[in-house]
Chain A
């Protein structure tokens, strides 16, 4: 388990990293926390000719900051910093909540938000939360900066809308509905999710719910929004029958994989059960 030979370059700025990506278009990898990249290098599953270390760019990419009423999380922010951030706790509590489900202490001390999003694991918790909260991915490339909505960012397993010469610099969380529930089930503690699920919504004084978003992980080739289910619930008062029917609609937006962790059949069984339970918990104010 030793990596194939590669050239190591330490980027001195975002522009430098982008220039290096452009120079080695498609044959370079960015090294941030290294929690996925380094094992893949060691197993020789990836053989880039150049590894561009961006860990020196914390000044530009290591901040969690308010931008208007949105929270901008730099791509180099470590999971552990999310756990400790009072700004995140106050403004993006769901993001803080899911960090406890990521890896172990060592992983959380190294792994980065940008790395998680750019790696685009279909079971990743951070990616799930960006969908649930409608986050914006900010990327820098040779032609400048562009913003990509989370819903347009994840294209497939480990595949994103980033071009080979683009670098993710920030994940921006706009204000979102305040109430949420999160659920995850894996084969062991902190393992990749068999199913993960975030439901977000805003209870109105008239008893209806608005801005419903239901994000699912582990049950498609990428994290997905259960849009049909959310539509069925939007602007309505919920009762058990509505919640049950909406939960079944969640299956319309996913095509669960069949893999060693769980069969597609079992995942299809779990999706409506847990969507129903989380919606009920959200409505009832309990887990």
Chain B
């Protein structure tokens, strides 16, 4: 993709054109409109008081001193919220679980450090924070548990005794089983893999501005969210309003990554303050709060196992894992895709998976780019290298032997997921060739300076989109899989495009408009996208699960075809020709064979809009709304290769090269695909090598909850990635697109771990937990040396 030619201004834009984003001008000029940029003149500012303990009962709460502070207008405590609202309903509950209802403020017991228990609306954020300081609380600390596995121990304190008799929220087993294969296997490799708790760190933390107009009965909520229509549904339910009384506006959004999926407690609180005070109320999350109040992700412990023959052929894969939920539910809860993608891109016909969702005294877990897939990829791809070692076959060969071939697709995996199409082995070979793997095998790992160089691979699949609305309904998910769009012609000859997909950096304004331009024929530049406003857009699903293009491309194709057909009919009537002979060419409708016989789009649009000079049988107006549910999920796929040099004395290591080969189907815009891949890789590297939200086991405190201690990579910390791709059109999506937003998060950890283990292969060390740091590598070396000493 690096050699993609830039788009020439004025040339036609359609599917595949590397055009720069429509969003770029406003964002680069500082003219984006984020929620914090919404500044009503009479706005009040909200601050939230948060529990300093991991688990504590509010024995006594006195807000009188805070209320007396000059500038304070309104204070809410848990009892007020319980009286005025319903619980916040999750969008994606874990199947088969009791409800763990939660309110916007803890009424009595806080279950994690940072759990909100009081909120203040005041004339400035400074005063609101001063007021929080003045709230007098007598805390009764309760026993806490922060370690995921320790929470399952019989002696662990039960965090939700009214609903649960242990901290195990649910157990979800799936799969055909593997008893016979495990018994027949020559080789079984297995281990326990610990995946770190991380977060997505959007540049824009969360924010909300709520304004209630009692006479109009309208609640307008500007909110940094990926799903404005779903937030509207949740707010209406929680606040006991009709959905029609709530309008949610989300544009621009400064990064979502899954963290901004659904209503959060602070959204409800800002609305409650505003409804009481009849003033706009703003809350903008600061980074300190963000580390505690916005969902965390990934933390899980996988007991993963691969059974194989002596020749390296996989017989079965199993995974039993504990997924950390945190102290209570969030809108999306713990990742569910581990259970669907654990067999990866391999030919696996026996196995099973079991997810155990565990409650702990930590910030609630939610969705994050990858949503369970990086976790199982790390475990499985590490074990593929262990399998290779056990059977004495090169790791590349073991992968190639087990990868599904193009002829075997479509393939239904152990969990019923259908891999649609693609050439998995080709991607792996491309990665191996790019890093000269055969040369590496000849050269060996030892370098003149005493350091070692290794190469590691990681092959992956990614589910993009959802199998069906029924699939979600069966799992009690409270949304569908469709996208809906409205196209409305305007009198200057352009088209207004209305979508509920908010703009969060993913470039969907551009890509959806590209499809519209291709199908309709109008100039790309004359399509104006209006995104993320529930008052303007048809009811859609939202931007997550790598699904926007898969669904929205279908909707815009239908709507643009419909609009084009009516446009041609009206133009044909006015030109006195047959619509079949007409085409739309930029801003004119003309005869295919005679460009001189033409009428401008502006004229056709105006005729339609005024209802003058159109055929008698045509209704006036020129707009189309379409809804599209994709027939299936599409599976993106690929392989990565890492070249890593390790200092065996200190554990220090450098990722010298990282080659990422992937397939996201038909590429709508190569520039945007590349941006998505690079962004996801940065987050994949961060989670693999530095980021960790660690809680102190004794105090239950988050010890890395600020930018001082959360080691998200900067550009200086990341290697130059080499991006290669194939482009196999998916047969199950419009235009053959696959999702692309999340793939980069999936393979880095395993590829780097495998490269380190390859570099030090004579030491037979192992890496089973994340993040991988110089110290953890040093410890792995020490452990391997100690093991050697014992044997």
Contacts and interface: CB of A to CB of B under 8 A. Distances in A.
Interface size class of A (residues with CB under 8 A): 20 to 34
Interface string A238-264: 000000000000000000000011110
A270 B714 CA distance: 25
B125 A2 contact: yes
A262 B690 CA distance: 12
Interface residues of B, number: 30
B130 A263 contact: no
Contacts of B160: none
Interface string A86-102: 00000000000000000
A188 B288 CA distance: 20
Given A260-B704, A263-B775, A266-B775, A189 B287 contact: no
B133 A4 contact: yes
Interface string A264-278: 001001100110000
A185 interface: yes
A48 to B, nearest CB: 15
Interface in A110-129: none
Given A187-B773, A191-B711, A1 B652 contact: no
Interface in A42-65: 43-44
Contacts of B690: 187-188
A1 B778 contact: no
A5 interface: yes
Given A260-B703, A260-B704, A266-B775, A190 B716 contact: yes
B704 A5 contact: no
B277 to A, nearest CB: 21
Contact of B286 (A1, A185, A262, A274): A1
B198 to A, nearest CB: 14
A263 B774 CA distance: 11
Contacts, number: 51
A263 B776 CA distance: 10
Contacts of B289: 1
Interface in A3-48: 3-5, 43-44
Interface in B693-719: 694, 703-704, 706, 708-709, 711-714, 716-717
Interface string B115-148: 0000000000110011001000000000000000
Nearest to B718: A189
B690 to A, nearest CB: 6
Contact of B713 (A2, A3, A188): A188
Contacts of A262: 775
B649 interface: yes
Contacts of B652: 185
A189 B711 CA distance: 10
A280 to B, nearest CB: 13
Contacts of A261: 709
A190 B716 CA distance: 9
B654 to A, nearest CB: 12
Given A262-B775, A273-B650, A4 B714 contact: no
Contacts of B709: 260-261
Contacts of A188: 690, 711-714, 717
Given A188-B690, A260-B694, 12 more contacts: A1-B287, A1-B289, A2-B126, A4-B133, A5-B126, A43-B288, A44-B133, A185-B774, A188-B717, A260-B703, A266-B775, A273-B649
Interface of A: 1-5, 43-44, 185, 187-192, 260-263, 266, 269-270, 273-274
9 contacts: A4-B130, A187-B690, A188-B712, A189-B714, A189-B717, A260-B703, A260-B704, A260-B709, A274-B650
- Cβ-closest 6 pairs across A and B: A189-B716, A1-B286, A2-B126, A266-B775, A187-B711, A188-B711
